[in-house]
């Protein structure tokens, strides 16, 4: 699985802590981590939590990433931004039990974490425990076990509803504010990571035109 990490500007200084915690947990499981920043270095392209959502949607809808780890101060804004787009099902995760139940019940492909609220002593330990529970075994298996059938049925229903309520990603890219979009894809390593992994030629060509 290709897992992308995206931080916005207010929490960019914590990128390395989050990145190392994520790698420590998921790389032994055979997953690959791509750190799209922000990295907390002077002069880098800025990402707002809205642009986190745009970037997450581009990566997931193009196949350049299979899972998104993102967040902001409270985690709420990044979650809302992610869920504004098709092909993205993002949960707001505060602790390991949130992570486990989101994975097993909702079977999403993105999480948003609060990187300011409650991010004190042991923050990296909480991150590691969250990532352990998030990527523990196969997702979508239900919790508790007697709720497996209705939970899996509801997830399929939600997926179908999102197909109706959302425009396709390429149409969104063509209609969204051009400067906002360009800012979302201007990160230091975006070109290398995205174009090496993108599976959708149409989205790739449009992003090339933007850049």
- How confident is the model over 60-113, as pLDDT tens digits? 999 999 999 999 999 999 999 999 999 999 999 999 999 999 999 999 999 999
Interatomic CA distance for residues 73 and 79, integer angstroms: 11
pTM over the 0.75 mark: yes
Considering only the top CATH level, what class is 2-210? alpha beta
Contacts of 142 (CB under 8 A, 6+ apart): 104, 105, 148, 149, 151, 152
Please count the other Cβ atoms lying within 10 Å of the Cβ belonging to residue 142: 17
Query: Residue 7 — φ and ψ, nearest 5°?
Result: -115, 145
Q: How confident is the model at residue 38 (pLDDT cuts 50, 70, 90)?
A: very high
Output DSSP code: residue 139. Answer: S
154-192 confidence digits (pLDDT tens): 999 999 999 999 999 999 999 999 999 999 999 999 999
pLDDT at 151: 93
Contact assessment for residue 85 and residue 24, using Cβ atoms and an 8 Å cutoff: no
pLDDT of 167: 93
Q: Give the domain ranges of the chain.
A: 2-210
pLDDT of residue 80: 98
């Amino acid at each position: 699985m290709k897992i992308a990490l995206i931080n916005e500007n207010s929490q960019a200084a914590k990128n390395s802590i989050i990145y190392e915690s994520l790698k420590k947990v998921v790389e032994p499981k055979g997953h690959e981590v791509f750190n799209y920043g922000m990295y907390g270095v002077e002069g880098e392209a800025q990402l707002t939590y809205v642009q986190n959502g745009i970037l997450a949607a581009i990566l997931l809808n193009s196949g350049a990433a299979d899972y998104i780890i993102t967040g902001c101060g409270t985690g709420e804004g990044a979650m809302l931004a992610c869920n504004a787009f098709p092909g993205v099902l993002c949960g707001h995760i505060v602790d390991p039990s949130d992570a486990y139940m989101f994975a097993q019940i909702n079977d999403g492909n993105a999480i948003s974490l609060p990187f300011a609220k409650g991010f004190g002593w042991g923050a990296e330990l909480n991150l590691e425990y969250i990532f352990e529970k998030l990527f523990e075994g196969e997702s979508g298996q239900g919790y508790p076990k007697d709720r497996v059938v209705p939970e899996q049925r509801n997830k399929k229903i939600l997926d179908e509803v999102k197909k109706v309520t959302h425009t396709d990603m390429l149409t969104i890219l063509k209609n969204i504010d051009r400067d906002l979009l360009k800012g979302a894809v201007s990160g230091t390593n975006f070109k290398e990571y995205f174009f090496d992994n993108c599976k959708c030629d149409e989205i790739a060509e449009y992003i090339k035109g933007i850049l």
